[in-house]
Amino acid sequence: MPGLHQKTFSTIAKRVYSQNERLAEEVFGQAASIVRQEHIRYYHLQADEDAILDISVSFDGSWLTRGHKSLIGIGCVIDVLTGLIIDGHVLSLHCHVCAQMGDWIKRETPHCYEQWKQEHIEKGECTINFEGSSGMMEVRAAEVLWGRFVQRHNLRYTTMVSDGDSKAFNKLLEVQPYGPDVVILKEDCINHVGKRFGTALKNLVANCSKKGITLGGRGHGRLTAETIRKLQIYYTRAIRSGRSAEEMRRGILAGLYHGYSTDEYPQHQFCPPGPDSWCFFKRSIGEHQYPTGHKQRVNTPLDYKLLHQHLEPIYNRLSSVDLLRRCDIKTTQNPNESFHHSVWSRCSKKNFHSLKRVEFALLSAEAEQNSGPTALSTIKTKLGFQEGEHGQRLGQARERKRVYKSSFEQQQKAKTREKKTAAAREKEAEEAQHTRRACFEVGGDQNPFNFPFFFLPNFQS
C-alpha cells in the first residue's frame, strides 16, 4: 500500500500540530480537576474552587537522544497521590527552517539575515524555545512547570520528588516561583537512594582492589556481588518499612551488624526484639530459647575485621537522618520512567523528531496514561478526524488487554508472595524444631530450657 505524499503528510501534520496548545489545556485541565477533587476528598479539606492547594509531585526529565547532546528534551510532573500526569513541557534547541533556509540566507545575503530572523520568530514558526546545554533542559522545564500551573488550576507543587540530581531543585529555590513565604521541599526517590548505596559498595570494592586490598572474592564473609545485591535490598527494605528517620536508620544498621554476628560475638543491638522479629537471635530470646547457629542462620555473613573499617563510612553517610528524612513519603519515580517510555514509543529515539511532533506525542501519551487507550478516540474527534469502526475496536481491545495484563500480573505476584511466605514458615518451623532438640540435649529431658543465661554486650545504638 503506497504511503502519503510528502506534501499531503505535511498538510495533515500542520493541521494536527496547530491544535497542540488547545489540546494541552483540555487534557491537562481535566487531569488537574481530578487531582484537585481527590486531594480534597482524601485529606478532608474544606476548600473553595478558587482556593490554592499544595500538592506533592514527582518530576523528572528525559531526552530524545541518548548522551549529552540531545536537541529535544521533556519534563513532566506527576501527582504522587493519584499518579496522574498533570503537566509537561517540551524544549528544543533545533529549528529545521533556521538550519536550512536561515543558514542559506546568512551565507548568501548576510545583511538580510537579522530581518528574516526577526520575522521568522514573530510569525511563531521558529521551534527553538531554549538556549543552553542539553543537561540544563531539565532545569528550565522545572522552572516553566512550577511557574505556570498555579495560575491555571490553583495548584502549587510544594513537595518535589526527584532523583539525586538537585540542579532543578536548587533553581526553584533560587527563583522562588511562589514567593519567599512558600518553601518548596525535596523528597528523594527511594529507588535512586538504593542504587546509590549499591554503587557506593561496588566502587568500594574496585577502589580497594586498586590499592591491593581484596574485599570480594571467595571466602566466608567477603563482599561479593551477591552480598552487595542483598545488602542493597536490605537497605531499601529498611527505608520502606521505617515509619521515621530513626527507625529507618536502625533498620539499615541492623542489616549490617546482623551480618557481623557470630556465636562468639553476637551484634544484634539494632535488630527488632520480640518473638515476631525477623532476626532469629531476638526471636529465640523472645521465645525463651537458646540462640545458636549463627554460621548456618545468618544468610548474609560479613567479616567484621576485614570489612568494618571500609563499610562504616558508607553506612554513616547513607544512613544520615537528613537523607532519610527526604525519604519520608516513600515514593519512586517509576511513573515518570513509565511515562517517558510511552512518549518515546511514539517518537523513536533512533530518528530525529521536531518540537511539534514530540509535543503531540507527549499529549497523546498523557491522555492514554491517565484515561486508557480509548482516550485517543476523543483526541481524534477533537481534531476533526472521524474514528472508524476498526479504530474503535482496536482501542477497546487494547483497553481490555491492559486491564487483563494488570490483573494477571497482580495474581502472579500474589501467588509468588504466598509461596515465599509458605517457604519462610516452613523454614522457621524446621529451625524451631532444631533449636528444641539442641535444648533437650543441653538441659536434659526434664527441663528443656535449662541453659545458662545469655547476656548481650552493652552496645550503644
Q: Are 147 and 168 in contact (CB under 8 A)?
A: no
| Reported confidence tier of residue 90, pLDDT bands at 50, 70, 90 | very high
At 153, give phi and psi (nearest 5°).
-130, 10
Per-range mean pLDDT, top range of 160-169, 279-288, 337-346: 337-346
Q: What is the SS3 assignment for 380?
A: helix
Interatomic CA distance for residues 351 and 359, integer angstroms:
16
E strand or H helix at 160? strand 155-162
The answer to which of 101-115, 145-159, 430-444 has the lowest mean pLDDT is: 430-444
C-alpha cell at 40: 480534597
pLDDT for 7 equals: 82
| End-to-end CA, the chain | 73
C-alpha cell at 442: 543441653
Quick one: which of 188, 191, 196, 201 has its CA closest to 227? 201
pLDDT for 102 equals: 87
Q: Flag whether the pTM goes above 0.85.
A: no
Mean pLDDT of the region 345-361: 90
Interatomic CA distance for residues 237 and 327, integer angstroms:
12
Interatomic CA distance for residues 333 and 191, integer angstroms:
8
| Reported confidence tier of residue 256, pLDDT bands at 50, 70, 90 | very high
Res. 94: pLDDT tops 50:
yes
Res. 461: pLDDT tops 80:
no
Q: Give the β-pairing of 155-162 and 85-92.
A: unpaired
pLDDT for 437 equals: 63
Res. 293: pLDDT tops 60:
yes
pLDDT for 412 equals: 79
Interatomic CA distance for residues 380 and 392, integer angstroms:
11
Q: What is the mean pLDDT of the chain?
A: 86
Res. 435: pLDDT tops 80:
no
Interatomic CA distance for residues 84 and 34, integer angstroms:
9
Res. 12: pLDDT tops 60:
yes
Helices 245-260/304-318 angle, 10° precision: 170
pLDDT for 449 equals: 40
pLDDT for 447 equals: 43
C-alpha cell at 392: 474503535
Interatomic CA distance for residues 350 and 344, integer angstroms:
10
Structural domains in the chain?
A: 6-93+128-188+333-384 (3.30.420), 191-261+298-325 (no CATH)
| Reported confidence tier of residue 130, pLDDT bands at 50, 70, 90 | very high
Interatomic CA distance for residues 356 and 407, integer angstroms:
36
pLDDT for 189 equals: 93
Mean pLDDT of the region 73-81: 94
Q: Are 279 and 257 in contact (CB under 8 A)?
A: no
C-alpha cell at 145: 512547570
- Other Cβ atoms within 10 Å of 67 Cβ, number: 7
Interatomic CA distance for residues 40 and 30, integer angstroms:
16
% pLDDT > 90, the chain: 48
- For residue 378, give every residue at least 6 positions away whose Cβ sits within 8 Å of its Cβ, in sequence order, or none: 367, 371
Mean pLDDT of the region 282-308: 88
The answer to which of 133-142, 357-366, 373-382 has the lowest mean pLDDT is: 373-382
C-alpha cell at 54: 499544595
pLDDT for 460 equals: 43
Res. 354: pLDDT tops 70:
yes
Res. 376: pLDDT tops 80:
no
| Reported confidence tier of residue 440, pLDDT bands at 50, 70, 90 | low
CA 100 to chain centre: 40
Res. 9: pLDDT tops 90:
no
Res. 295: pLDDT tops 90:
no
C-alpha cell at 231: 545488602
Per-range mean pLDDT, top range of 6-10, 43-47, 238-242, 450-454: 238-242
| Reported confidence tier of residue 93, pLDDT bands at 50, 70, 90 | very high
C-alpha cell at 385: 478526524
